[in-house]
Structures are given as structure tokens and as C-alpha cells.
Amino acid sequence: MNPERKGSLFAAAGMFLYGIEPVVINANSSSPITFAALSVSLAALVLWLVGRRNILEDIRSKPGFLKYGLFMGLFGTALAYLSYSFGAMMSTAINAALITRSEILWSFLLSWAFLGERIGKSHIFYGTLLVLGLALVITQGRAMVPHFGDVILLLVPFFWQVAHVLAKKTPYHPITIATLRNTFGALFILPFAFITGPQFSMYAPLEGMVIALGQILWYSSIKLINLSKATLIITPAPAIAIALGILMGQPFTVYHVVGFLLISFATVGASRLRSEVKSGGMLV
């Protein structure tokens, strides 16, 4: 299997896994900050247990990139989780779901500026269809009401993409990158969990497994294909959670039909795009 197709499959698998994640998070009734801290800590523990020898060897062979893991944990985990928690408290679930999907816009901008990736008309076309399809599925035709928390929520996808750009520049194996991000992320966010009052959630171990496996798939993907393309493919993840809800008996509307059709068409189209740099050459 060629790297382009393999990377796209990794991203698609990650999309389905991240689509399940909101179901797990919504089932949690404890503090979102302590839930995040416990989940990330458990994810780091699982990753260390699975790949300890390879991770340590990876770090010893390239110690200069360890700081990249620190910043990935700071931006992609700690700041992103804190922004999401506080932003969602001051906004609505619909706004949070849609605004965090603006990650694709940040991906286009940052991958073009810092990774030299080529962002063509096809990327913009499929990205627009994806966001439109998600908007129909999530809002069901209702207008969004602006909230102050929306400004904070805009930072969440930005922090995610900063971490992804750093990961793309890091020569470590995907499991090493995921382990460092969660290890440093846990160290940054645990103090906030103790300040707000630690609570245990029975769903945290499940979320930890989702984080660990999801990030291995994600970082395996962006090692093989453009960050912008991988982000396009995983953008429909919230629609997976909504589809699961429909299968479990929730109402199915015309907005779902149109939205899912747009999402499906755009996702298939995005997966067929070639990963190119600005000069027109393939990424390696």
C-alpha cells in the first residue's frame, strides 16, 4: 500500500475513533478539568507501558527534539483542554461543536505558512463543504447565537494545530510523539485539577484509551500525508457521534440527510487529494 493511501486510512480510522469520543465525554459528570487531567494521565501511562523501550531509544537518539514534546503538551493538551472547558461553560454545545471544527481553517493557514504545504482550490472547496455539512447536521437549521465563550473556543483549534505543526517537524515515532504530548500535557493540567478539586470518573479510563489510540493513528497519518489533508479527513468526526445517536433512536431529519451527503462527498474527495508542497513536489 502506498504511503498516501495508508496515511489517509490512518486519518479515517482516527475520524471514527474521535467520533465516539464526544459520547464518552458527555457521559462524564465530574469536573471537565479533572476528567481531562485523569484521562490524559492514563493515556500517557498506557503509551509508556506499550512502547517504553522504543520511546526511550527514540529520545536518546534525538534528545534535541524533546522540547517539541513539551510544547505539544502545553498547546495541544493543556491550553486546548482548558480553553475548551472554560469556553464551553460560557457558550453552548452547538457553538462549541461548530467552532472547534474551524480547525480546518487553522490547518490550512499554519500548514501553508510553516510546513510549506500546497493549499489548492480543491482543499478550500472540500473544506467548505465539510463545514457546511457539519453546520446543517449540528444546528438543524437553527441560527447560532453568539456568546463570549466563543472567542475562547476559537483558541482550541488553534492550539491543536500548533501542536500538530510541531509534531510534523518532530522526527520521533508516532507513539513517542503521543506519549510526550500526553506526559507533558498531564504535568501542565494536573495542578489545575487539584485547584478545582480532584474527582474520579469511571469514564476516564475509556477516554484515556481513546486518546492513546487516537493519537497514535493521527500521528501515524501526518507522518505520511499533508497535515491539511489529514485534518480535512478527520473534520467530520462529530457527525459520527450524531450518526450513532440516530442509530440509537434519535430523530432523523432532512438536515441530517443533506448534511451527511455533503460530508460524505467532501470526505471522499479530500481523501483523494495528493499531499504536495508549495513547489509542487510530493512530501516525503
Range of the domain at 195: 3-119+145-235
Is residue 128 included in any domain, yes or no? no
Binning pLDDT at 50, 70 and 90, where does residue 1 land? confident
Q: In this structure, is residue 155 part of a structural domain?
A: yes
Put residue 272 in one of left, alpha, beta given phi > 0 → left and psi -120 to 50 → alpha: alpha
Q: Residue 278: pLDDT above 80?
A: no
Separation CA 86–CA 147 (nearest Å): 12
One DSSP character per residue, 54-106 reads: HHHHHHHH-GGGHHHHHHHIIIIIIIHHHHHHHHHHTS-HHHHHHHGGGHHHH
Closest CA to 25 of 83, 81, 106, 109: 81
In a domain, 274, yes or no: no
Q: Is position 258 within any domain? A: no
Residue 271 belongs to some domain of the structure: no
> At 279, is the pLDDT very low, low, confident or very high (cuts 50, 70, 90)?
low
In a domain, 81, yes or no: yes
The string of pLDDT tens digits covering residues 101-158 is 889 999 999 999 999 999 999 999 999 999 999 999 999 888 888 888 999 999 999 9
Alpha carbons 132 and 230: distance in angstroms, whole number: 18
Q: What is the pTM of this model?
A: 0.90
What is the DSSP track for the chain?
A: --HHHHHHHHHHHHHHHHHHHHHHHHH--S-HHHHHHHHHHHHHHHHHHHHHHHHHHHHHH-GGGHHHHHHHIIIIIIIHHHHHHHHHHTS-HHHHHHHGGGHHHHHHHHHHHHS-B---HHHHHHHHHHHHHHHHHHHTTPPPPP-THHHHHHHHHHHHHHHHHHHHT--S-HHHHHHHHHHHHHHHHHHHHHHH-----TTHHHHHHHHHHHHHHHHHHHTTS-HHHHHHHHTTHHHHHHHHHHHTT----HHHHHHHHHHHHHHHHHHTS--BBTTSPBP-
Cα 38 to Cα 202: distance, rounded to the nearest angstrom:
10
Which pLDDT does position 273 carry in this prediction? 92
Number of domains in the chain: 1
How far CA 15 is from CA of 1, 100, 164, 194, in Å, comes to 20, 15, 16, 32
Is pLDDT of 282 > 60? no
Query: Cα separation of 180 and 73, whole Å?
Result: 7
User: In angstroms, rounded to a whole number, what is the distance separating the alpha carbons of residues 46 and 52?
Assistant: 10
Distance CA 209, CA 62 (A): 27
Percent of all residues in the chain with a pLDDT value above 70, rounded to a whole number: 98
pLDDT digits (tens, 9 = 90+) for 199-222: 888 999 999 999 999 999 999 999
Q: Which amino acid is at 210?
A: V
Instruction: Please count the other Cβ atoms lying within 10 Å of the Cβ belonging to residue 205.
Output: 14
Is 137 contained in some domain?
no
CB contact at 8 A, 221 and 230: yes
**Which of the four pLDDT bands, split at 50, 70 and 90, describes residue 83?**
very high
Per-residue confidence (pLDDT) for residue 283, from 0 to 100: 42
CB 148 within 8 A of CB 202: no
In a domain, 240, yes or no: no
